[in-house]
Amino acid sequence: MTSPDVPSCVRRAGTLACLGTVAFLALLAPPAAGEAPPSPDPTVELRSPDGMIAVFVNTEGRLTYRVALHGVAVLGSSQMGLRLREQGYLGADVSLVGSGRSESDTVWPNPLGKHSEVRDAYRELRLTLRERGTADRTFDVVFRAYNDGVGFRYGLARSAADREFVVEEELTEFAFTADNPCFAGDHTTAPNDAYDVRGGFAGPQEWEFQRRRLSDLSDETVTGLPLLTHTPAAWVAVTEADLVDWSGMWLTRAPQVAGTTAVTLRASLAPRLDGQGLVKGALPHLSPWRVIMIGDRPGRLVESDLVLNLSTPSRIPDPSWVKPGMMAWDTWWPGVGKMDTATLKQFIGFAGEMGWPYQLIDAGWYTGERHSNSDIMRVVPEVNMPELLRFAAQRHVRLWVWLHWTDADRNDAYLKAFALYEKWGLAGVKIDFMDRDDQEMVNWYEKITRAAADHHLMVDFHGASKPTGMIRTWPNQVTREGVMGNEYNKWSARVTPEHKVTLPFTRFLAGPADFTPGGFLNRSAASFRTHVSPTQVIGTRANQLALFVAYDSPVMCVCEHPDNLRGQPGLDFLRLVPTVWDDTRVLSGSPAEYLVIARRSGAEWYLASMTNSNSRMCSVKLSFLGRGNWLMRSWHDAADSGEEAEHIEMSERTVTAEDTVDLRMAAGGGSVTRFVAAPR
């Protein structure tokens, strides 16, 4: 039988919102006629549609689960449950009240992602459990098994005695059977002088995903998500989806058991700032999905849409006004020029020349920024907003504006401001410096995005937590930061080739990121310098071009100043490259090593490669192309690009799907290639 994409109701910031066709209360009820009665075997099994992934849930005594691929353990016995204030533990000692199974195989359109048509095929297991020692305290656990992973969530029911809840601790574990190598967010090093996040939870989630062992993770503070690890059975990533009216999940390593190499990671939720536990709300209530992405190769995870499939479908009836595209950035990153009308016209004019639909006006455009007297509707005298709007409209460019979140939030200033911005004809807002993912801030993200949608404004959250599928629920939330991006080149040497080639396998598994690629002052690692103006980047010109294909961001913000772009080799590629895709295929690659990825837009294919600090040659079979001849145009490293990183070569030839091409990459280098069907 077929189930809806999501349970029908979920608590959102204090109100119940309908999401599907089956009532949420039915999810929490005992099994109906025709559903399977409780099994005498306390272990309940769920398999993915292809039968390769198996989940085993123990439903008597301590609530646990384990996951296997091809019969080999991915996760060993892992605890589940919640500790609630007043209601006590859920999952410590349970009995099975009822269970139900369903399955679904549908396709939904996604105009803002890596696949324009997303297949959502899963099998679902619903378990209603009673905590022993209580009269009527029941709760649900819902598992979904996909061919590319597993998701599970908790459903808290309302009862005569319990109408509200406070979560004091989440007991979810991810018990890995060995001390596997992993790539995990390292927040223990402050991202810049403005932050000290050693205590955990605070900060913009801008970090390297360093290679280490699971046992190297801290047992005293938290590790950020996504976490990628290579188990004996598969590549596995842990993250979350459909984060709504809940606190963001982090991980803490449990103390290791003597005599074993197994490592268990425990969920840690960001605490509320008001001291009211980790999560609080009215019943009934759903937790986010805990997501376990599984693949036989790391590229399979890059191709996956599991986070989106587990997220609530669009809440915007007609999101056709949300348009992807390239965006020029103003003076902040290049460090040249000032915030005034004349300077902004340079950038707007350049966006018009390039055919880019957007221009970002960053910090400094409104009065009282970051002070109690700020006014996000009052433009500073140096900026003539009516003139900029007129100038931009003539060039078919729409403007975005930057806001500090406290200025938008103070006295609900965003409500009137968004109405004004819609009147101005702005395309979107970039909102910065939230640096949190506790429940209060998670609800704030949604409140702002909902209000922006009411006024046909897109949103780019900077200084923000990782994405969790909001772009599906609210398509106007088109991208966000939560990534150590190109801006770090201004003051550090941390945006290394290794970092850049690790991000597709880690941070981008959670969703789009505003990395701001496009630096054209390319330098080798030896010649790179920080704190210079204009800003330099580590790696070759071809490597920067590859980021536009390798990275996901429906609105792609180009960091470079027009003076450093005009007339430069490779600029023609930035006139052509799309920002959303109909198909995505990772041909080969490994985190921190290299990536070769092919993507289709309409009838055209794009191929990108990038490598770490080692030069590399990859042979690529062009079997992803269709029949016939294809015109191949490539932008790739020159023979001396390892030393002269701005050097790039272009070449053209005719190929077929039977051909193989050699991709030669300099240290910190890469390539991009466009394939267009040849005229018959």
Model pLDDT for residues 622-640, shown as the tens digit of each residue: 999 999 999 999 999 999 9
Instruction: Write down the pLDDT at residue 256.
Output: 83
For the chain, give the percent of residues with pLDDT over 90: 86
Q: How much is the average pLDDT of 317-325?
A: 97
Range of lowest pLDDT (17-21, 185-189, 459-463) = 17-21
Estimate the share of the chain in helix, then strand, then coil, as percent rounded to the nearest 5.
20, 35, 45
Burial class (CB in 10 A: 0-12, 13-18, 19+), 559: buried
C-alpha to C-alpha distance for 290 and 588, rounded to whole angstroms: 28
Please, what sign has the CA dihedral across residues 363, 368, 372, 376?
negative
- Per the prediction, the chain carries an average pLDDT of 92
Provide the pLDDT confidence category of residue 613 given band limits of 50, 70 and 90. very high
Instruction: Write down the pLDDT at residue 144.
Output: 98
Provide the pLDDT confidence category of residue 27 given band limits of 50, 70 and 90. very low
Cβ–Cβ < 8 Å for 609, 596: yes
3-class secondary-structure state, position 44: strand
Q: How much is the average pLDDT of 145-158?
A: 96
Cβ–Cβ < 8 Å for 231, 74: yes
Domains along the chain with CATH numbers: 9-309 (2.70.98.10), 319-481 (3.20.20.70), 483-553+581-680 (3.20.20.70)
Q: Is the pLDDT of residue 63 over 50?
A: yes
Q: How much is the average pLDDT of 378-389?
A: 98
Higher pLDDT: 345 or 7? It is: 345
Instruction: Write down the pLDDT at residue 164.
Output: 94
Instruction: Write down the pLDDT at residue 87.
Output: 86
**Residue partners of 6: CB distance under 8 A and separation at least 6:** 19, 20, 242, 312, 313
Instruction: Write down the pLDDT at residue 257.
Output: 82
pLDDT digits (tens, 9 = 90+) for 198-222: 357 888 999 999 999 999 998 988 9
Whole-Å CA distances, 125 to 3, 92, 98, 533, 549: 11, 20, 11, 57, 37
Provide the pLDDT confidence category of residue 532 given band limits of 50, 70 and 90. very high
The gap from C-alpha 302 to its chain's centroid, in whole angstroms, comes to 11
pTM for the model stands at 0.93
* HEC assignment per residue over 251-290: EEECCCCCCCCCEEEEEEECCCCCCCCCEEEECCEECCEE
C-alpha to C-alpha distance for 342 and 387, rounded to whole angstroms: 10
pLDDT digits (tens, 9 = 90+) for 569-591: 999 999 999 999 999 999 999 99
Q: How much is the average pLDDT of 532-559?
A: 97
Q: Is the pLDDT of residue 30 over 50?
A: no
Range of lowest pLDDT (13-27, 116-130, 312-326, 604-618) = 13-27
**Of 115, 499, 141, which Cα lies nearest the Cα of 307?**
115
Higher pLDDT: 436 or 27? It is: 436
pLDDT digits (tens, 9 = 90+) for 76-121: 999 999 999 988 999 999 999 999 999 999 999 999 999 999 999 9
Instruction: Write down the pLDDT at residue 135.
Output: 63
Instruction: Write down the pLDDT at residue 187.
Output: 65
C-alpha to C-alpha distance for 261 and 213, rounded to whole angstroms: 11
pLDDT digits (tens, 9 = 90+) for 454-513: 999 999 999 999 999 999 999 999 999 999 999 999 999 999 999 999 999 999 999 999
pLDDT digits (tens, 9 = 90+) for 331-346: 888 777 789 999 999 9
Q: How much is the average pLDDT of 2-14?
A: 34
| Cβ atoms < 10 Å from Cβ of 388 | 21
Instruction: Write down the pLDDT at residue 137.
Output: 85
Provide the pLDDT confidence category of residue 308 given band limits of 50, 70 and 90. very high
Beta bridge partners of 636: 649, 671
Cβ–Cβ < 8 Å for 288, 243: yes
